[in-house]
A and B are shown apart, each in its own frame.
Chain A
């Protein structure tokens, strides 16, 4: 049993997620840093630790975090950089806050997908001698995973499309989401094929944006912030599978299971479907949501699509999933995990506006690193 001292998320900040934002990386980071500080009701002088999340590949710049150190309020403070999804950056922020060396840690990420070349950048995630030469990238490898998932459990493209319909529909309630859409399964099926079986509406869009969260020790949270703003970290786990897609059964979710089990053990959760009230799951592609829900133990092996069809994860279902609209409605890659955590915080505070789930007390966020969800990170938050 892992004992963890109480750490709160006391502030969150997000930009609107859009394509073609004119802001520089530093301007995006400044916007969300200021917003998170204001949300927590503190100033930058109350921060003593900064974790930026930055990718040299996506930014097209070496030491990419160097360019945002002033905007993130790093002057005179301890500062570091995680490269990967926001959920992993937040794990390091949590570890630093738990170390006893810092009281208040800001974690922030920026991303401008529309200034990047997604295919080339994600192609460089593959082995340079073998898979890279085949032209694999985030989309084509996801297509292989979708196919494997379909063949393993006899699933259909129409079943995947349902998640896209649901999440774009949820986005209509979230003013920050980029692609609010009232669409049908037929619309998804008729959208342009990108990498068989994935069509445009099965894929998340290139997105620009930034997000920040502020972590605080129990003592600092009580001193600095309105208790109504505090959301508490109940459990967290992360775990990586094998590197080569060929070394994995792409419809197997062992790494996610281990990450989730660790988070659940810390949070004292034994039946996630009934104990979790709202979940943000990494739906970079439509099929990923049901697949990850299986790995999260929220539904059984091969039953994610069936439960989706039954409406279990709808906004008014038993466990609303991706109430923000999900990555399908806005996917600012490294930012995505922080956006998930921000959505969970808003839900637990009761500040989620039109996309508020009534009485949400426990929330889950799940992020991934690497291709086809090689590495997973699971968070459980509560009031």
Chain B
């Protein structure tokens, strides 16, 4: 039947543009050690480990075997998962399913990236079909710029709407000691920042960071025994329905609609904005923090700009999004999705410090990656 699973520990590095003080393996060790401390466990309590990143960023093949010292995986079961931008949430899902399977009781999921040692854009470029799409859709910014242009035209959304979301996230990051980019920013600052690819400007876009995150999943009995308030996994769903960028819909995101629809059904969510107390979403640009709100059943298509403008997703709004500062403040790519899950788990555990949202009972997490790959995880304070 499978077991219920709770998150019992989270650890993350202090993320930065360049962590010259630490190698990739040392970044991993930093996150792993902090997760073990957070859960008050030692490495001997971990039954299995799963790790993920994007290969071509650091040019390390077989990362699961390379990272053994940092992971604490010596003489333990370990393998690697990888799905592009969604890698972090893919690692989380793997931790969840392995703990649910009964094969292992306590599973540690680890994501990492050391982007300062990579040519990130060049590595991402090769995800597109080499003959049909690499020239036009290579890299991270182009497709996001295209979709928001089309969304603005379809629904009257504006560049200012994205700037509101950018300023919101960047100011939230001031409360997160782990965030890479922490700066007080106004909507005007965002609008005046250099244009990268119309309509996306510098302060709208995510950075590339060095960092790692580790999240410990435990099966029902172990979670209850080891943790006073686990963050229980209520749903984990993935949809990746497109192989080519040219097949995507551009004014809404079908994979996000389908994945959240399924996850809400599994978790019994009918009115997401009311039922979720907060969300940690993989929004790689502030434009996504407008357009993609339509595709999570928060509003009808085209309704997102109004929600953004009225502050629904601000820290004092109805459903705060990304109290951590989100992806535009911190982006160690293979860890980015896992940070969403880890941050949301801390919110439920009440461990979020200055960025804590009061009384979080249910939280929504997402991951996003190549060709509209969408992961969704729903966490709750109550056992499902």
Q: Which A residues are closer than 8 A to B by beta carbons?
A: 2-5, 26, 55-57, 60-63, 65-70, 74-84, 88-89, 91-92, 94-96, 98-101, 121-122, 124-125, 127-128, 236-243, 254-255, 258-259, 369-371, 374-375
A70 contact set on B, CB distance < 8 A: 243
Task: Tell me whether B83 and A78 are in contact (CB under 8 A).
Answer: no
The 21 listed contacts between A and B (C-beta, < 8 Å) are A4-B102, A61-B127, A62-B84, A62-B124, A63-B373, A65-B82, A76-B258, A80-B83, A83-B64, A84-B79, A96-B97, A100-B3, A124-B61, A239-B77, A240-B65, A240-B74, A240-B76, A241-B68, A369-B79, A371-B62, A371-B65
Task: Tell me whether B82 and A56 are in contact (CB under 8 A).
Answer: yes
In the assembled complex, B301 has its CB within 8 A of some CB on chain A: no
Contact A375/B54 with A62-B124, A81-B82, A101-B100 known, Cβ cut-off 8 Å:
no
Task: Tell me whether B100 and A99 are in contact (CB under 8 A).
Answer: yes
8 Å CB interface, B1-15 against A? 1-3
Q: For the complex formed, measure the closest distance between the CB of A256 and the CB atoms of chain B, giving whole angstroms.
A: 11
B238 contact set on A, CB distance < 8 A: 78-80
In the assembled complex, B157 has its CB within 8 A of some CB on chain A: no
Distance A82 CA – B100 CA, assembled complex (angstroms):
18
Task: Tell me whether A99 and B2 are in contact (CB under 8 A).
Answer: yes
Query: What is the 8 Å Cβ interface bit string for chain B, positions 61-94, against chain A (1 contact, 0 not)?
Result: 1111111110001111111111110000010011
Task: Tell me whether B239 and A76 are in contact (CB under 8 A).
Answer: yes
**Which chain B residue shows the least CB distance to A375?**
B65
Residue in contact with B61 in the complex, picked from A4, A95, A122, CB distance below 8 Å: A122
Q: For the complex formed, measure the closest distance between the CB of B282 and the CB atoms of chain A, giving whole angstroms.
A: 15
Distance A96 CA – B1 CA, assembled complex (angstroms):
11
Q: For the complex formed, measure the closest distance between the CB of A375 and the CB atoms of chain B, giving whole angstroms.
A: 6
Contact A63/B84 with A69-B240, A240-B77, A254-B75 known, Cβ cut-off 8 Å:
yes
A57 contact set on B, CB distance < 8 A: 55-56, 61
Q: Which B residues are closer than 8 A to A by beta carbons?
A: 1-3, 54-56, 59-69, 73-84, 90, 93-94, 96-98, 100-103, 123-127, 129-130, 236-243, 258, 369-371, 373
Task: Tell me whether B243 and A67 are in contact (CB under 8 A).
Answer: yes
Q: For the complex formed, measure the closest distance between the CB of B119 and the CB atoms of chain A, giving whole angstroms.
A: 11
Task: Tell me whether A83 and B80 are in contact (CB under 8 A).
Answer: yes
A259 contact set on B, CB distance < 8 A: 77
Distance A99 CA – B384 CA, assembled complex (angstroms):
14
Task: Tell me whether A240 and B60 are in contact (CB under 8 A).
Answer: no
Contact A369/B65 with A63-B369, A98-B102 known, Cβ cut-off 8 Å:
yes
Task: Tell me whether B84 and A124 are in contact (CB under 8 A).
Answer: no
Of A63, A125, A370, the most chain B CB neighbours within 10 A belong to A63
Given A81-B90, A95-B94, A240-B76, list of 11 further CB < 8 A pairs? A61-B127, A62-B124, A62-B127, A63-B84, A80-B81, A80-B238, A84-B80, A88-B79, A98-B100, A255-B75, A369-B65
Distance A79 CA – B59 CA, assembled complex (angstroms):
25
**Closest CB pairs A-B (n = 6):** A100-B2, A370-B65, A63-B84, A98-B101, A99-B100, A95-B101
Task: Tell me whether B369 and A240 are in contact (CB under 8 A).
Answer: no
Tally the A-B contacts, defined by beta carbons under 8 Å: 191
A258 contact set on B, CB distance < 8 A: 75
Q: For the complex formed, measure the closest distance between the CB of B326 and the CB atoms of chain A, giving whole angstroms.
A: 22
Distance A88 CA – B353 CA, assembled complex (angstroms):
39
Distance A122 CA – B61 CA, assembled complex (angstroms):
7
Distance A83 CA – B65 CA, assembled complex (angstroms):
11
Distance A99 CA – B217 CA, assembled complex (angstroms):
13
Task: Tell me whether B81 and A81 are in contact (CB under 8 A).
Answer: yes
Contact A82/B79 with A2-B103, A101-B97, A125-B66 known, Cβ cut-off 8 Å:
yes
A374 contact set on B, CB distance < 8 A: 65, 68
A128 contact set on B, CB distance < 8 A: 59-60
A125 contact set on B, CB distance < 8 A: 60-62, 65-66
Distance A98 CA – B123 CA, assembled complex (angstroms):
35
B69 contact set on A, CB distance < 8 A: 242-243
Task: Tell me whether B90 and A80 are in contact (CB under 8 A).
Answer: yes
Distance A75 CA – B238 CA, assembled complex (angstroms):
11
Task: Tell me whether A99 and B75 are in contact (CB under 8 A).
Answer: no
Task: Tell me whether A66 and B61 are in contact (CB under 8 A).
Answer: no
Task: Tell me whether B62 and A63 are in contact (CB under 8 A).
Answer: no
**Which chain A residue shows the least CB distance to B5?**
A99
Q: For the complex formed, measure the closest distance between the CB of A380 and the CB atoms of chain B, giving whole angstroms.
A: 14
Task: Tell me whether B83 and A65 are in contact (CB under 8 A).
Answer: yes
Distance A241 CA – B78 CA, assembled complex (angstroms):
10
Task: Tell me whether A127 and B66 are in contact (CB under 8 A).
Answer: yes
Task: Tell me whether B83 and A81 are in contact (CB under 8 A).
Answer: yes
Distance A121 CA – B80 CA, assembled complex (angstroms):
17
Residue in contact with B94 in the complex, picked from A76, A80, A101, CB distance below 8 Å: A80
Distance A231 CA – B68 CA, assembled complex (angstroms):
33
A65 contact set on B, CB distance < 8 A: 82-83
Task: Tell me whether B101 and A240 are in contact (CB under 8 A).
Answer: no
Task: Tell me whether A76 and B241 are in contact (CB under 8 A).
Answer: yes
Distance A238 CA – B76 CA, assembled complex (angstroms):
8
A26 contact set on B, CB distance < 8 A: 243
B60 contact set on A, CB distance < 8 A: 124-125, 128
B124 contact set on A, CB distance < 8 A: 62
Residue in contact with A62 in the complex, picked from B56, B76, B242, CB distance below 8 Å: B56
Q: For the complex formed, measure the closest distance between the CB of B308 and the CB atoms of chain A, giving whole angstroms.
A: 30
A55 contact set on B, CB distance < 8 A: 55, 61
Contact A80/B93 with A62-B123, A66-B373 known, Cβ cut-off 8 Å:
yes
Q: For the complex formed, measure the closest distance between the CB of A110 and the CB atoms of chain B, giving whole angstroms.
A: 14
Q: For the complex formed, measure the closest distance between the CB of B276 and the CB atoms of chain A, giving whole angstroms.
A: 21
A66 contact set on B, CB distance < 8 A: 84, 127, 240, 243, 370-371, 373
Q: For the complex formed, measure the closest distance between the CB of A290 and the CB atoms of chain B, giving whole angstroms.
A: 23
B54 contact set on A, CB distance < 8 A: 56, 62-63
**Which chain A residue shows the least CB distance to B126?**
A62
Task: Tell me whether B78 and A375 are in contact (CB under 8 A).
Answer: yes
A236 contact set on B, CB distance < 8 A: 103
